[in-house]
Amino acid sequence: MNQLSSYATAFTQYKRITEQYSDQTVLDSIKQLVPDKVLKLIRDNQSLKPLLYWFKNDFMKWMPKELQCTRCNNRPMWVQVIEGDSTTLRKTEIHVCDICGSKQIFPRYDRILRIAETRIGRCTEWSILFGAILNSLSIQTKIVHDYLDHCWNESLIDKKWVHVDSTLDFPISLNHPYYYEQNWGKKYVYVLAFSSDTLEDVTTNYTQHWDLVQKRRGKEDKVGEFKKIYFRT
């Protein structure tokens, strides 16, 4: 029951996030972030490559999981995680050096416009914001979570749902769904895709070893229960 409760918490966050993908005010603001030259390249080339390159290399900054103190010869800092208590913050990380006491605070937002302001995060923040950008360009996009340690997007392109990962370099970032299993050694149980009104089990899109996934799931497939929880949130 505790495991389902943790899923319910995550589902509430994903519903709150993806509902913003239907907020035209949010999408209009987000679209203005994309430079005109990038929009022109997308139109001219009919490709997401310019957008992926701009977002990864020019716009967003990656926040490492383990920070090092710049005052103390890059000594590792310890981290305290405080769960969010509002509809804006998912959690806050406080990184502290136990030698000099310096701190670095990393608020982890689920409001798209706040992430756009800070322009920093890990795969969750990147996929939240990049999904919003794609939706602002009328490319229907969801958030995908592997429930191991990674998030990315799926976009409806040429009437097919396509893997899109703004944290990776092109061309791996586009339509390389087996990359994680082949190169990161992923052993999936559930890979779920979220929109404001749907939760889908998309695991088969990302594995070439479905028989092993089924063995990990065991006799009780939880997808039906997940959907009930999601639609109750």
Report CA Rg, the chain: 19
Distance in angstroms (rounded) separating the CA atoms of residues 119 and 125:
9
Active site residue 209: no
Active site residue 44: no
With CA atoms as reference, report the closest residue to 131 among 21, 47, 15: 21
With CA atoms as reference, report the closest residue to 81 among 90, 66, 91: 91
Do the beta carbons of residue 186 and residue 148 sit within 8 Å? yes
Dihedral sign, Cα of residue 52, residue 54, residue 55, residue 57: positive
Distance in angstroms (rounded) separating the CA atoms of residues 95 and 101:
10
User: How far is Cα of residue 141 from the mean position of the Cα atoms in its chain?
Assistant: 12
Active site residue 150: yes
The number of beta carbons lying within 10 Å of the beta carbon of residue 168 is: 18
From 69, 97, 123, 151, active-site residue: 123
From 110, 150, 151, 163, active-site residue: 150
Distance in angstroms (rounded) separating the CA atoms of residues 183 and 212:
17
Please state, in angstroms and as integers, the Cα–Cα distance from residue 208 to each residue in 121, 155, 187, 205, following that order. 30, 21, 11, 8
Catalytic residues: 123, 150, 165
